[in-house]
Structure 1
Amino acid sequence: MDYHISFAGLLVGFLIGLTGMGGGSLLAPILIILFRIPPVWAVASDITYSTVTKAFGSIVYIQHKQVNFSIVFWLACGSIPATLISVLLVQYTHKQYASLINSIIVHLIGFVLVFVAVLLLFKPTLMLWIEHRQQAKIRQKTGAQGSEHRRIWKRPMATILVGAVVGLMVGLTSVGSGTLIVAAIAFLYPRMPSRELIGTDIFQAFLLLLAGFVGYFASGEINWTIVCLLLLGSLPGVLIGSISSKYIPNKYLNPVLAVILGLSGLKLI
């Protein structure tokens, strides 16, 4: 079983390095479906594993000054409290109704996976629409001062709300910390450069997952053996995937990954 878990980590790490998103969403269903690991353990282990991988990614983007800390702050205002609340909710329900929360988590993971799969399929169309929206905003003349004030005020509120929704979902399922946020940031801030968009997404995902890790660590739900075995396989997997990404275009990989995620989600539902 040990080397099988490390091989799963290698596969997930390879997909993360290859596509930059979506690969991590496979980890929880792999642990649940293939290794029959209890859903609460699977979610806690996935969040811990993802926290480590996002930390390394965050360091790289911060060094290259490709993180928008203002947007990260507003996202964190919603995502961190929501993640902690969802983890506490899981722990309370797990103590009172263990079988019920496991069933709920499995179904939630399934629904989120299907949603992430749809996002991946329509990502090219979505990004093209966002690019057109960005060009339209650049051509648009600056409005009155009062109108500009309202526009600035609404954006942080919407960002906090997005962070809260994603934080709640990630705390319950461990899925979507990157894929869901990157689409929301691109929609809310269409003028943001693509590299800064990715860097902001990775760093906020690290903070969100760190909050989930703290919650599950305090409850003692993390299986460190599983986490170490996953990291043992995933670290070289990320390196191999990053090198391979130069030769394999994402336009061919994202549909395949979306189908895998969708089928995994339907199986869990």
Structure 2
Amino acid sequence: MSIAYTIAGFAVGAIVGLTGVGGGSLMTPLLVLLFGINPSVAVGTDLLYAAVTKAGGTVAHGMKGTVDWTVTRRLATGSIPAATITLLLLGYFAPGGIGGAASLIKVSLGVALLLTAVAIVFRKQIQAYALKQSGGQENPQRTKLLTILTGAVLGILVSISSVGAGALGVSALFFLYPRLATLRIVGSDIAHAVPLTLVAGIGHWFLGSVDWALLGSLLIGSLPGIWLGSHISTRIPDRVLRPILATMLVLVGSKLIAA
């Protein structure tokens, strides 16, 4: 079974390398639906998996100078406390550990996947609308507060479902910072995902919902997968990749909600 996990890690890693999103959106439901992993264990393990894989992406973007650390810090100001509080509440209301919150996590994951699909499909429209609405009259203080609030929402969502730090985070930044270069938005979002998924992952570890053997098997496959996906991404047009990924998320999200 560890070989199957490694293959799954490679496949998801390659997709993340190709599209820039889809780590939590694909890995967690894959573990739940294909391998029958308990939803909370799948979420907890995937959070640490994301922290390690996206740390590599942060180093790459940081070396290129494509991370806006001010934006990253604002997001983390909201997300880290929100994630901590969410995990404390999860532990309080689900004292049984991994089994107590399985139903909540499953439904939350399905809803998050559907939202992620919408964000992927309408990413360009969101950016265009934000540019039109700003009209050159930006309010720095308002943008700062909304960024912190966005981080808090992502912290809650990611802690419960492991989904949202990628596509939802990027889409929110497109709306809040319409004049920021796309590459800097992506780099800033990846950098923010590292501390968020690490904190949330450690929280799930204390709740007893991390499978370390599974994590190791996934990372063995995902790291070369991300490398490969990143290298061939320039040969596949974005207009082809986004609809495919969005369709997958809708199908999987709907199945989780209806299960």
TM-score range, shorter chain: over 0.9
Q: Which residue, out of 171, 180, 185, partners 2:173?
A: 185
Q: CA deviation at 1:131?
A: 5.0
Q: CA deviation at 1:133?
A: 5.4
Across the aligned residues of Structure 1 and Structure 2, the Cα RMSD in angstroms comes to 1.8
Partner of 2:183: 195
Amino acid at match of 1:206: V
Partner of 2:83: 83
Give, in whole Å, the separation in 2 of the partners of 1:153 and 1:51.
30
Partner of 1:20: 20
Give, in whole Å, the separation in 2 of the partners of 1:187 and 1:163.
14
Change (3 A) 1:104 1:24: closer
1:149-160 alignment runs, 5 A limit: 151-160=139-148
Deviations 1:170-222 (A, max 9, x none): 00000111111111111111121111111111111112112112212333421
Partner of 1:143: none
1:173 and 2:161 are equivalent in the alignment: yes
Amino acid at match of 2:234: K
Amino acid at match of 1:214: I
Give, in whole Å, the separation in 1 of the partners of 2:161 and 2:70.
27
Deviations 1:62-98 (A, max 9, x none): 1222211112121111100111112222223332486
1:114-125 alignment runs, 5 A limit: 114-125=114-125
Give, in whole Å, the separation in 1 of the partners of 2:255 and 2:170.
26
Deviations 1:22-81 (A, max 9, x none): 244101100011111111110000000000011111111112222111121211111001
Partner of 2:247: 259
Q: CA deviation at 1:128?
A: 3.6
Deviations 1:222-268 (A, max 9, x none): 11111011111111111111122121111101101111111000000
Q: Report the 3-state secondary structure (helix = DSSP H, G, I; strand = E; otherwise coil) of the residue aligned with 1:267.
A: helix
Give, in whole Å, the separation in 2 of the partners of 1:74 and 1:119.
21
Amino acid at match of 1:33: L
Amino acid at match of 1:235: L
Partner of 1:101: 101
1:32-47 alignment runs, 5 A limit: 32-47=32-47
Give, in whole Å, the separation in 1 of the partners of 2:115 and 2:9.
23
Q: 2:79, 2:148 within 8 Å by CA — same for their partners in 1? A: yes
Give, in whole Å, the separation in 2 of the partners of 1:189 and 1:230.
34
Amino acid at match of 2:113: L
**Alignment TM-score, normalising by the size of structure 1:** 0.90
Give, in whole Å, the separation in 1 of the partners of 2:205 and 2:10.
24
Amino acid at match of 2:205: F
Q: 1:133, 1:190 within 8 Å by CA — same for their partners in 2? A: no
Change (3 A) 1:196 1:129: same
In structure 1, stretches of 5+ residues that fail to align are: 141-147
Aligned residue pairs total: 257
Amino-acid identity (%) = 39
Q: 1:121, 1:255 within 8 Å by CA — same for their partners in 2? A: yes
Q: 1:167, 1:208 within 8 Å by CA — same for their partners in 2? A: yes
1:222 and 2:184 are equivalent in the alignment: no
Partner of 1:145: none
Give, in whole Å, the separation in 2 of the partners of 1:268 and 1:62.
36
Partner of 1:244: 232
Deviations 1:79-136 (A, max 9, x none): 00111112222223332486451011001100110111111121232234345557x4
Q: Which has the larger radius of gyration?
A: 1
Q: CA deviation at 1:3?
A: 1.2
Q: Report the 3-state secondary structure (helix = DSSP H, G, I; strand = E; otherwise coil) of the residue aligned with 1:245.
A: helix
Partner of 1:92: 92
Change (3 A) 1:113 1:27: same
